[in-house]
Amino acid sequence: SAVISQKPSRDICQRGTSLTIQCQVDSQVTMMFWYRQQPGQSLTLIATANQGSEATYESGFVIDKFPISRPNLTFSTLTVSNMSPEDSSIYLCSGTGQRSTEAFFGQGTRLTVV
Amino acid sequence: SQQGEEDPQALSIQEGENATMNCSYKTSINNLQWYRQNSGRGLVHLILIRSNEREKHSGRLRVTLDTSKKSSSLLITASRAADTASYFCATARGTPLVFGKGTRLSVIA
């Protein structure tokens, strides 16, 4: 199994600013993903973080708004840019290993935009 | 969409009772997984059942899979207050996982 450390755990941000969320994995994972979860809702995939190349974004999410980096196999960042109150949500990073599709999750970042 | 749909959306039971949650999905899958989430935190993997399996056990958890009906169920036996959480099914056909809407379980002591 893998342990994913995600930070910050929560933040309150002013609209128009940006927040970068970091995820560090204690072992190599093949795939890393970023999800958004509205309160009481399911997880919505934002993008797949690709090592050393541009992330693959899902419909409705764009790089200018959610730039993602993954410089190596164990680290990734998600930036929420030019935030508005509609961006208030929980953001989760996730990773899967080489031999299984079982996913490991960070503890989530609870973002409130005021 | 491959997204699973859990049923019921919310479930409230007394400690010691069994809790059953159901998941339906739309497309063929390689495996189906169940996760637990406490209070909006990270999800924790509970159990994985492959498409060629019909039933799987892990401690107090029992999962069934019916690929002909595209449905799965999660049974938690002898529930405890600590089982209070949201439970999500996730279907896998390659990556990434696609999560259902979840069932909020409340176990009352």
Per-residue pLDDT of chain B (109 residues; tens, 9 = 90+): 446 788 899 999 999 999 999 999 998 999 999 999 998 788 999 999 999 999 999 999 999 999 999 999 999 999 999 999 999 999 988 778 889 989 999 999 9
Per DSSP bridges, beta strands B71-76 and B61-66 are antiparallel
Closest CA to B19 of B98, B101, B78: B78
Our measurement of the distance from residue B71's CA atom to the centroid of its chain's CA atoms, rounded to an integer in Å, reads: 11
CB contact A4 to B (< 8 Å): yes
**pLDDT for res A37:** 95
**A residues 25-84 closer than 8 Å to B (CB):** 31, 33, 37, 39-43, 45, 48
Asked if the Cβ–Cβ distance from B92 to A101 is below 8 Å, we say yes
Alpha-carbon gap, residue B104 to B88, rounded angstroms = 9
- Cα–Cα distance, B83 to B63 (Å, whole number): 16
Residue-wise pLDDT tens digits, A23-62: 999 888 888 999 999 988 899 999 999 998 899 999 999 9
Contacts of B99 in chain A (CB under 8 A): 42-43
Q: What is the DSSP string of A7-54?
A: E-SEEEE-TT--EEEEEEESS--SEEEEEEE-TTS-EEEEEEEPTTS-
Q: Tokens 């941000």 identify what position?
A: A13
**Partner-chain contact A106 B31, CB within 8 Å:** no
Two tokens at A70?
């993954």
Closest chain B C-alpha to A87 CA, distance in angstroms:
16
Of A1, A93, A101, A12, nearest in space to A45 by CA: A93
Kind of pairing between the strands at B71-76 and A31-37:
unpaired
Across the strands, what pairs with A94?
Answer: A33, A105
Can you tell me the mean pLDDT for A6-30? 95
Q: Please give the full DSSP string across A101-113, using - where no structure is assigned.
A: --EEE---EEEEE
